[in-house]
Amino acid sequence: MSRTLEDFAMLSREHRATTRAAAILATAALVAGGCKSSGAPAQGESPTLVAYTGQATDYQINFNPFAPTRIGGTGTIFQTLFFYNIVRNDKPVPRLGSQFSWNPAGTQLSITLRTGVTWSDGEKFTAADVVFTLGMIAKNKGMNNGGYAGHAAAVDDTHVTITFDKPSFVDGPSVLGKTYIVPQHKWKDIADPAVAVVKDPVGTGPYLLDEFKPQAFTLKANPAYWGGEPAVKKIRYLALSGNQAGATALKAGQIDWQTGPVPDLKNVEKSYSGYRAVVTPLNQIVLDTCSNAALGCQGPQTDPAVRQAIYRAVDRTQLNALAFENTGSGISPSFLLPGRDKALISAGLRNPTAPMQPDVAEAQRLLESAGYAKGSDGIYAKDGKPLALTVKTVAGWTDYITAANTIGQQLKQAGIKLTVQQLSWNEFVDAKDRGSFQLIIDSLYQGPAPDPYYVYNYFFSTAQTAKVGAKPGPNVSRFSDPQIDQALDTLKHTDPADIAARQAPLQTIQTRIEQAMPYIPVLTQGTISVYHDAKFTGWPTSDDLYAFPAIWQDPDNAEVIMRLKPSGK
């Protein structure tokens, strides 16, 4: 370093402008020497939890819990009435509410609220705040991202009833577990709350906003929190440039909690000293098929026999090892989660979980009985058309690209030709929405409660689909089946607590889905979170998944943070 500086200094005698350059360089070098120690916490200070949510550019301040671009505070500053743990079949955990009940028809929801809760500005939290929040959502359609269609009324300070026009058991979790309650006295004067930028949030939660900078913001513990001041005193959320930068920061020990793939997962504890990883199976990796010729889909995948043949020909063990570092796990063709929904899986299914080993003979039998014949090139064909399919994925999604290529190799053994096409993110989203695809490697996600109803309603109901060319809801396969629609309707009218009454419709759906298979089950994806175990204790583990341990999942992340304790090391 010093030699370079001398060279510059020599040159600078020759040329005036270079003197300035050298001065700047020299300053930088001095600073480089002098500033290294900054940032280390002082002795005895409670450690700050540093989280990286995947924020890829600078933050723009907005803590409005209803904005799609909110930057945080949901669960930590603002709270819901209850907490639903979607990874385990737990009862809803009371937060601002203490209990709730439905009338038998499912048209009235009575909620009892917690007493002794105050807003962070000292005002008392009452039923009026809940009624106000729900009324505001109903009035401002741009805020109503949970499909709320009820009328809330306060019975007294601690009791609220919500009436619905139709049976709405299944809408409960989104109202109770996903709607963040805001203070009436602060929000009633906001003219258009949907687009309001909330800069100093007032909530009931365990944390308060400490300071905001575009590159990072900090929350501090709320000493007046109704559940007692949390043990982690400060949380800092960083903005980095994406997952690559996240991995670098993790490697340097600069972040304590990150969700996303890490290289060499098996050796996390060795390569990141003091860190541990938790792999949570939740999203289901599938091949979306454009399945419904009646709604405009074209291609061999509109034939259920082809979809079944692909399902049989996939070697899931090999795929898991090659594409997913063995973080995937078994998947049920009923799309129930093998762990959480074990009790619900129908005995009438041919495979309760998809076979991990391929059955090429069975795949070929299915194709032959559907009228396909093997050509001289080893590829099946029907009416002179070879059985060739294209699977679309996003350029840069390395795990899905590897998976699609591996599946392509495996299907070749069974006489099916699969071409992988990588698209830009925007093209991919467009193709998926318009139905201009044959296959897409994708994943199905869960709803607001640990209940398979939501997966079925989102991805298999006629109401959530549309013709090819028009934009559907989540049901991009264009699948439509009257039996399933009817069973979903029955579930909508049945109290989720009435397990016996839900049995029959759930079984119908499972059977029909296994037969039709509009989404070809691949594996259940493991969501990987890496956390600093040596600095804080109390993290969720695979044995005790008290919340979905992903930093970007709210309000689960707040549930985790509330339970953490500095380890004192």
Partner 1 sequence: MSYYLRKFGFYLVALWAAVTLNFFIPRMMPGDPVDILMAKLQQRGSGVDPSARRAYELLLGTHTDEPLIKQYIAYLGNLVRGDFGVSVSDFPTPVSTVIATSLPWTVALVGIATVLAVLSGIVLGVFVGWRRGTWLDSLVPATTVLSAVPYFWLALVLVAGLGSGLGWFPLLGGYDVVLNPGWHADFLGSALYHGFLPALTIVISSIGGWLLGTRNMMVSATAEDFVLTARAKGLRERRIMIWYAARNAILPSIAGFAISLGFVVAGSIVTEQVFAYPGIGSKLLQAVQNNDYALMQAIFLVITVAVLAANLAVDLLYGIIDPRTRTGG
Based on the shown chain and the rule CB under 8 A, indicate whether residue 425 belongs to the binding site for partner 1.
Answer: yes
Position 395 contacts partner 1 (CB under 8 A): no
Order of strands across the sheet with 108-113? Answer: 97-102, 108-113, 159-164, 150-156
Interaction between residue 405 and partner 1 (CB under 8 A): no
* Residues ≥6 apart with Cβ < 8 Å to 434: 468, 469, 470, 471
525, 563, 106, 35: which is closest to 316 by C-alpha?
Answer: 525
449 Ramachandran zone, left/alpha/beta (phi>0; psi -120 to 50): beta
Question: Given the rule CB under 8 A, which of 247-255, 290-298, 381-389, 507-515 is the region that contacts partner 1?
Answer: 247-255
Helices of type H across 417-555: 425-434, 453-460, 482-492, 499-516
Is 238 an interacting residue with respect to partner 1 (CB under 8 A)?
A: yes
Stretch binding partner 1 (CB under 8 A), from 119-127, 294-302, 429-437, 492-500: 429-437
**Of residues 126-155, those binding partner 1 (CB under 8 A):** 141-147
Does 236 bind partner 1 (CB under 8 A)? Our answer is yes
| Of 133, 232, 191, 143, nearest in space to 535 by CA | 232
**Which span sits near partner 1 by CB under 8 A: 23-31, 219-227, 264-272, 336-344?**
23-31
**Distance of alpha carbon 540 from alpha carbon 459, whole angstroms:** 29
Q: Which of 214, 227, 263, 371 binds partner 1 (CB under 8 A)?
A: 214
Segment interacting with partner 1, rule: CB under 8 A, options 20-28, 75-83, 220-228, 411-419: 20-28
Q: Which stretch binds partner 1 (CB under 8 A): 114-122, 287-295, 425-433, 486-494?
A: 425-433
Identify which of residues 125 and 275 has a Cβ nearer to partner 1 in the complex: 275
Q: Does 430 participate in binding partner 1 (rule CB under 8 A)? A: yes
CA nearest neighbour of 525 among 316, 307, 360, 331: 331
Q: 307-336: which residues touch partner 1 (CB under 8 A)?
A: none
Judged by beta carbon, residue 156 or residue 189, the one nearer partner 1 is 189
**How many of the other CB atoms lie within 10 Å of CB of 163?**
14
Nearest 10 degrees: Cα torsion 118, 123, 126, 132 = -120
Q: Which is nearer to partner 1, 117 or 466 (CB)?
A: 466
The gap from C-alpha 444 to its chain's centroid, in whole angstroms, comes to 10
Q: Counting contacts by CB under 8 A, is residue 356 touching partner 1? A: no
CA–CA separation, 154 and 245 (whole Å): 49
Q: State the Cα–Cα distance between residues 150 and 130, nearest whole angstrom.
A: 13
Q: How far is the CB of 124 from partner 1 (least distance, A)?
A: 30
Q: x/- binding map, residues 456-495, to partner 1, per CB under 8 A?
A: --x-----x------x-xx---------------------
Residue 454 lies near partner 1 (rule: CB under 8 A): yes
Task: State which residue, 66 or 536, has the beta carbon closest to partner 1.
Answer: 66
How would you label 309-334 residue by residue, b for 16+ Cβ within 10 Å and e otherwise? bbbbbbbbebbbebbbbebbbbbbbb
Q: Which stretch binds partner 1 (CB under 8 A): 18-26, 103-111, 295-303, 489-497?
A: 18-26
Any contact of residue 244 with partner 1 (CB under 8 A)? yes
